[in-house]
Each structure stands twice: as C-alpha cells, then as structure tokens.
Amino acid sequence: MPEFFQLLPPDQARTKFLAEIRASPQPETVPLAEALDRVTFAPVCATAPLPPFTRSTMDGYAVRAQDTFGASSSLPMYLTLAGEVLMGQVPDLELRPGQAALIHTGGMLPRGADAVVQIEVTQKSRDDEVEVLKAVGRGENVLQAGDDVKAGEEVLPAGHWLRPQDLGGLASLGVTPVTVARRPRVAVLATGDEVIPPEAEPRLGQVRDANSYSVGALVAQAGGVALLGGIIPDSFEALKAAAVSALKAADMLVLMAGSSVSVRDITLDVVNELGRPGVLVHGVAIKPGKPTILAVADGKPVIGLPGNPVSAMVSGGLFVTPAIHRLLGFTHPPRAATARATLSHNLESQTGRDDFVPVRLVSRDGALYAEPVFGKSNQIFILVRGDGLVLVPRDANGLSAGAEVEVGLF
Amino acid sequence: MPEFFQLLPPDQARTKFLAEIRASPQPETVPLAEALDRVTFAPVCATAPLPPFTRSTMDGYAVRAQDTFGASSSLPMYLTLAGEVLMGQVPDLELRPGQAALIHTGGMLPRGADAVVQIEVTQKSRDDEVEVLKAVGRGENVLQAGDDVKAGEEVLPAGHWLRPQDLGGLASLGVTPVTVARRPRVAVLATGDEVIPPEAEPRLGQVRDANSYSVGALVAQAGGVALLGGIIPDSFEALKAAAVSALKAADMLVLMAGSSVSVRDITLDVVNELGRPGVLVHGVAIKPGKPTILAVADGKPVIGLPGNPVSAMVSGGLFVTPAIHRLLGFTHPPRAATARATLSHNLESQTGRDDFVPVRLVSRDGALYAEPVFGKSNQIFILVRGDGLVLVPRDANGLSAGAEVEVGLF
C-alpha cells in the first residue's frame, strides 16, 4: 500500500495551499527607525509635494536663465549680486533682471530666479558682481517643487517590503511612525520520543531538537514570529492537544512531522482534525521533502514538515516562507540571492520530481564551481556545509558536470 | 582650484580604508533562538560526535547484513523477530545470528546489528518472523556515530554568518547560548541648517532628514546598531563637538557630509581633527558618490557620505557596509542578491569612473528588463522606485540597450 497516493509538483502544491489561506494582515505601528524589513500594511501617499519648494541642485548662483543667454568664457555675462540664499530659510530677496544670488545645494530659489549657474562656470570679478561663463536653460540645476513626489501620489503600495531607501523616503515625507503588517505568529512544534531540548544532555538513544531552531529562524527570516512550542511525544492525543492549543494562540502552525511513517501518520490524523478544509496536499514531488503535509484549518495554514533536517529546510523554503508572506500581505518579496556556477560533478536524478541538491561554492582558477555536499540527508550539517541548493528540474534525469547552474543561496 | 586632488577607484579606496581599521570584535552571549544573522565570535567545535550513536535512517528492521546476503523477492531470507527498538532508548536486546529487530527512523541500532532493511523490502510472514526480500550491505541505511560531525571537529569558523540551518546545527550540538560578535555601534550624524527631524513640520525652505533613516537602516542591515545622533548645524564648532562626542560613544562614525562644497569642507576639517591617521581618501571615482570621505580616527572608521540621498546609499553600500563587516570580524558576508536582465536603454558614462545606475526590473514577454530610473540624483525617491543598481565599469564609456547586465538588487 503506497503511503502517498498522488505527489503534486511543488508549484501546484503551493498554489492549491496558498489559495485556501485566509490572509487578513493586521496593522501595527512602529517607529520609523525600526521599520526595516517590515511590510507596509496600506498604501502610503504623500501629503505634500517633494521637494516642498524649488531647490538648487548645485552650488552656484540663482539667475534668470534669459540673463545668461549667449554667455561663454570668451564673452561672459555680468550679473549684479543681490545677496545670498541662506539654507533653511525663505530668501528675503527677489531677483530682478540682471541680478544673481549666491545659492548652495538644496537652497530655495528666490522669487524671480528660474535656474542656477554652477559655481564652476562663474568668476567673481567684483564684490557685487559675478561673471557667468556659460548659459543655462530655464530649470537647469533646479529641482522643482513636486519633481520627486507629487502631493497625493502613492509612493509605496500595500504589501511592500521596507528597504533602507524606503525608510529614507518615508522620513522625507514625515511618515513616522509607520503602519506595517503585524508579524504573523507561527507556532513551531517538534515531535519525537527521542528528541530533547538543546540545553539538555542526551542519554544514549536521544538527540537534541535541531529543527525547531532552524525552522524557527526560517520563520523569522520570512517575517514571522516563531513561537517554539517544545517537543511533543509521539502520541495522537499529546500531539492533538498541543496542536490545538498552539494553533489557537498563533496565525499558523508548523509541525515537524517526524521521520518515521508511524509518526507521520499520527501527524496527518492530527492535522485533519484541526479545522476545515484540513489536509490539501500530502506528498510533494520533491527530493528531499516528499512527505510534506500542507493543510489549512479554518483559514490558518498548517504545515507538516518532514523530520529529516535537510528535508525540513528545503520544504520550509518552498512552503513555510510563502505562507508567511501571504499572511503578511507581502506582494513582492525580495528575490532570493543566487549565483551562477559550473557544476563540478554529475548529478543523477529521477524524472518526475524536483531534486534539490546542497552544494558548496568553490572558486578555482578564477571560475566559480558548485560542488555537491555529499552525505545522507539525515545529516544536520549537510546544509551548514553548503552555500545553496541546485535544482535538478523534474523534466531532467540529471545534470552533467560542467553544466552552468544557478545556485539558490541560503 | 579642484576640490579633489586625486579620485581613487572604489576598490583601491576600500582597501586603503579597511587596512587602517582596528578590528577587535567583542563577544556577546545570546540565546540560540535569537542568534539568526549574527556573526560567530570564535570557532565552534563539537564536544561530542553527531549523531551520538549509530542510528537507522529508515523505517525497517535492524539486521546483521550477512544474514541477508542472497535475499531476493523470489528467495526471501527468514529472520526471527527479536523485538522492537523504542525511540529515545537504548535497545534492551542484542541481535544474534538469524535475528532482526523492528526499528524506526532515528532509532538506535541494537548491539549485533550492522544494517537496516527498509520496511518496503520486507514482508511479515508470522508474528515472530520477517521475510527479507533484498540483501543489504554492512552499514546500509545506517548513520554511524560521528558520521555527521566528529567529536572536536570545528563546525563553524569565527566570523561566520549564522543562517537558519546553522542554528539547527548549533542546537544539535547543545551550543546554547551562542557567543557572537557584539554589534558595532555606529553613530550617524546628519548636518544641514535646512534639515529638520521627520516628525517636525517643515517651514518653507526646510526639508526633513531622510539620510539618517536610510543610512541607519543600512547600518542595521550590515549588522551594526545605528545611533542616530540628530541634525547638526553647518558650523565647524558644532560639528566637531558632536562628532567627538558621538565617536567616543561608538565604534564608528558616519557623517552626512552635506551637499554643498562649503559644508563638505567643514566636514573634512572636522574629520581630520578626530584622531590619527585622519582622512585617507577624499573623493572616489564613482558616480554618484564622488565626494566621499574615508578616514580612520585612532582605529575607528569615520565616513563622510555625500548628502545627496542616492549618493549616500551608493557610497554607503561600498564603504559603510564593509567597514561594519570588518568591525564584526565577518569573514564571509552573504553574497548580495543579483538578477540578470537586458538593459532597456543606452547608458552613457565617462571612462575612468564606475557609474552606478538605478534601475527598475520589468518583466516583458517572458524576459526581464533593467529600465533606468531617470531623474536627478537629488531625488530621494529614485532608489525607492528602483530595484537595484547596474554598474557601468570605469573601462567602458557606456552600455548599449540590449546588453545583458547584472543588477545588484537592493
């Protein structure tokens, strides 16, 4: 009797899963200086134009452009110095024909001026006079009010990842504090009679819980808050009680579904009792990561990850991360870092499933090579020794040494 | 009189600058669950082998491999069932010739056993007997003690960026809490008589401080703690007093050196009075970002960034980030995310300097295009509208539309 009746390709599995999640991001207000890597809750619109007034983009002289027409180094135009524009102040002068005013980068253009002559193409002939050696057109070296942002313009959509430059933009518009999507709380439960917390000393036969920490960090990386719920014994009753209570306090639940079939069966039964519609996907056409369970319980995503540490991370990247992004309302998550490299060894693979092979990047003779990290996928340190994953797609039965591959970095 | 006597290429400027920084990372202890994206302070060695005992990697039967030799589906071998290995416990049985014991994935091999037969290639004929349909070799389906990590092995070097799988690895070895490098404190000072805090309402002529927030976030992204020191008026005395006091409380100082030459001159003079050796680089052959000041004051890095928001971020990525990494002792920072795209427009450029052009990534007809974000580099929202930067290298005088480019994503 096969354990899995139908293995879905990962993209189909993900689509089916994400469609059932009830995503309703909640607003949270954070100080601007703490908003890095958060996700906007609502579109942000400018309440005023930027810059708020017409500014010089250069050090030089504010002028009427037409007064400079025809100026050259052999035939300078002489303008009378009407004063200096002080930074941060409205100029107390109005430029009349034939006049110029000293202005600094960012200074406000005085009335009457419509361009700035760069200081490099001027010469100070007398205290009250400046020689212009080059003509400027109207608007030259000037940023008009609203040139950067118009009043009312949507500057950031909802579901936008806040990068350093976005925080600068929000500061310039006075958007502080910022309303971001609250981080989804993701309960993470480990299972296994043999599993103990990392701070405990294992007796013979016991191992420490690694997956709660790697998957918990994956949750944080995706923008969620991991609630580590500890280690649950391998029994239906214990796991069900823990899952029900964890899911009640969280927006999403990740269970380490164990490595043995009997424990995975328990997990499957528990997940099916958590809410509607229950298990959507049981088994994905990937290696490692096949025994993944994707479910939705009354709108909340529930994922059963394989217990194998490599599988848990591969499957977590494919399903845990997008589920958290969906809960955040995160429309355009950042692209993952990748590197192009030459495959150092042949990789065998079966058609019909996506194979993810951990590789190490090695520079040799000026070229970058992707070297498979060999070992059994039960080894926790396979991914620690690796720099990323190479995908052998399901329509290929392997990749040859020397092939150029894209490495998904982690 | 030229403002800059010599423009160094950015890589030479960085090398010269980093060489003078006195990097002595300090240790800090954090709980394992909070160690994501931190950097190891010292090498981490395993105090015990991993796995700590010989484990099954499959559900099946622990056997003596030689008892299965010659087994096939047409000629099964019959083994006597000696019991079951319970998870997390030392098996209370020793396998004798002709015996097998039920074992689950992760279970400890009983004495006498040296391989595991997968359950899929067995058949249960009688309660106390199992038919083996396929031979296994010694060690098959078994992870030996120490196969993943040997006792005493260095599993992570110092200066290693802690990723999710690394936290899993540390958990499995009981390394909790973790000793990481303390985040360098980076004082960030804005300057400008026209600049006001983001929460204030600008009068005509004033603008809000954007750079403190974008550069502060860049500092956080690089692994530092930004100490925003506010906005300093454009005077030598005020700036010097603020810089001296900020640097005393921090490991590094970033000054927004202003956009006008007069303010930059003040910044240069101040930086030169902060400590030895003082200014190392004044002017870098990049656009934007040319008027960058790189200095070291008694071992501490001091950077004067251009006031122009685009320049500040470009220069910050080139110099602020690596300086923080150096203070952290961060030997192999993660590769930045990049994307390959087709350039949509011609880009002109001068030879002799590296041009960084903000671009937007646009998918069209299944291809990815890099579209320059046009505008003046004084516009704060240029980088908000962009997805990354394209480098036009200093030995090129431009790039043609249709060229394949690598976009450094931000």
- For the sheet with A115-118, list strands across it: A115-118, A60-63, A99-103, A77-84, A129-132, A122-126
Residue type, A253: L
Would you state the pLDDT for residue B377?
Answer: 75
- Inter-chain touch A192–B32, beta carbons under 8 Å: no
Query: Which of B381, B389, B406, B410 to mutate against chain A (most A CBs within 10 Å)?
Result: B381
Read off the tokens for A295: 């479910």
Q: What is the pLDDT of residues A293-319, one digit of tens each?
A: 999 999 999 999 999 999 999 999 999
Any idea what the Cα angle at residue A38 is, between residues A37 and A40, rounded to 5°? 130
B241 touches B230 (CB < 8 A): no
A41 touches A189 (CB < 8 A): no
- Does domain B36-48+149-181 fall under CATH 3.90.105.10? My reply is yes
* DSSP secondary structure letters along A203-261: PTT-EE--HHHHHHHHHHHHT-EEEEEEEE-S-HHHHHHHHHHHHHTSSEEEEE--SSH
Contacts with B172 from chain A: Cβ below 8 Å:
198, 207-208, 210, 309, 380
Secondary structure class of B193 (helix, strand, coil) = coil
User: In 10 A of CB B204, how many CB atoms?
Assistant: 12
Task: State the angle between helix axes of B236-248 and B261-272 in degrees (0 to 180), rounded to the nearest 10.
Answer: 50
| Separation between Cα atoms, residue A62 and residue A141, nearest integer Å | 9
Would you state the pLDDT for residue A376?
Answer: 82
Would you state the pLDDT for residue A4?
Answer: 65
Q: Is the ipTM of this complex over 0.85?
A: yes
What does the domain layout of chain A look like in residue ranges?
10-26+182-328, 31-47+155-181, 55-143, 338-409
Q: What is the pLDDT of residues A211-222, one digit of tens each?
A: 999 999 999 999
Contacts with A375 from chain B: Cβ below 8 Å:
147-148
From B143, B208, B339, residue closest to A172, measured CB to CB: B208
B53 touches B85 (CB < 8 A): no
Contacts with A337 from chain B: Cβ below 8 Å:
334-338
A178 — phi, psi (to 5°)?
-110, 140
For A85, nearest residue in chain B (alpha carbons): B205
Kindly report whether the global pTM for this prediction surpasses the value 0.90: yes
Query: Which of A227, A235, A380 to mutate against chain B (most B CBs within 10 Å)?
Result: A380
C-alpha separations of B36 from A226, B149, B190 in Å: 12, 22, 30
Contacts with B55 from chain A: Cβ below 8 Å:
207, 378
Q: How far is B128 from chain A (nearest CA, A)?
A: 20
A240 touches A273 (CB < 8 A): yes
Would you state the pLDDT for residue B100?
Answer: 98
The residues near B148 (Cβ < 8 Å, ≥ 6 apart) are: A375, A379, A380, A381, B49, B50, B51
- Inter-chain touch B195–A88, beta carbons under 8 Å: yes
Would you state the pLDDT for residue B79?
Answer: 97
For A49, nearest residue in chain B (alpha carbons): B207
For B147, nearest residue in chain A (alpha carbons): A379
Query: Which of B161, B380, B385 to mutate against chain A (most A CBs within 10 Å)?
Result: B380
pLDDT averaged over every residue in chain A: 95
Alpha helices in A278-344 (DSSP H): 309-315, 321-328
CATH class of A55-143: mainly beta
| Separation between Cα atoms, residue B55 and residue B90, nearest integer Å | 11
Q: What is the DSSP letter of B109?
A: P
- Inter-chain touch A90–B204, beta carbons under 8 Å: yes
Would you state the pLDDT for residue A375?
Answer: 86
From A57, A176, A214, residue closest to B168, measured CB to CB: A214
pLDDT tens, N- to C-terminus, chain B (410 residues): 345 668 999 999 999 999 999 989 999 999 999 999 999 999 999 999 999 999 999 999 999 999 999 999 999 999 999 999 999 999 999 999 999 999 999 999 999 999 999 999 999 989 999 999 999 999 999 999 999 999 999 999 999 999 999 999 999 999 999 999 999 999 999 999 999 999 999 999 999 999 999 999 999 999 999 999 999 999 999 999 999 999 999 999 999 977 788 888 999 999 999 999 999 999 999 999 999 999 999 999 999 999 999 999 999 999 999 999 999 999 888 888 999 999 999 999 989 999 999 999 999 999 999 999 988 878 999 999 999 999 999 999 899 999 999 999 99
Confidence of residue A5 (pLDDT cuts 50, 70, 90): low
The residues near A142 (Cβ < 8 Å, ≥ 6 apart) are: A54, A55, A56, A57, A109, A114, A115, A116
Q: Alpha carbon A140 to chain centroid distance?
A: 37
From A32, A216, A338, residue closest to B198, measured CB to CB: A32
Read off the tokens for A304: 């059963």
- Inter-chain touch B213–A261, beta carbons under 8 Å: no
CATH class of A10-26+182-328: alpha beta
Nearest to A248 by CA among A274, A218, A215: A274
Would you state the pLDDT for residue B219?
Answer: 98
Do you find a cis peptide bond into B51, omega within 30 degrees of 0?
A: yes
- Inter-chain touch B168–A105, beta carbons under 8 Å: no
Contacts with B33 from chain A: Cβ below 8 Å:
213, 216-217, 226, 228
- Residue B337, judged by CB atoms within 10 A of its CB (0-12, 13-18, 19+), counts as middle
Q: How far is A276 from chain B (nearest CA, A)?
A: 31
| Separation between Cα atoms, residue A303 and residue B221, nearest integer Å | 30
Residue B195 bridge partners (DSSP): B207
| Separation between Cα atoms, residue A180 and residue A252, nearest integer Å | 19
Residue type, B337: A
From B88, B208, B262, residue closest to A104, measured CB to CB: B262
Query: Which of B154, B360, B376, B384 to mutate against chain A (most A CBs within 10 Å)?
Result: B384
Distance separating the N- and C-terminal Cα atoms of chain B: 37
Would you tell me which CATH number, out of the four given (2.70.98.60, 2.60.40.10, 2.40.340.10, 3.50.50.60), belongs to the domain B338-409? 2.40.340.10
Q: What is the pLDDT of residues A98-119, one digit of tens each?
A: 999 999 999 999 999 999 999 9
Contacts with B203 from chain A: Cβ below 8 Å:
90
Q: What is the pLDDT of residues A108-161, one digit of tens each?
A: 999 999 999 999 999 998 999 999 999 999 999 999 999 999 999 999 999 999
From B149, B176, B201, residue closest to A199, measured CB to CB: B176
Dihedral of CA atoms B264, B267, B273, B275 in degrees, nearest 10, equals: -110
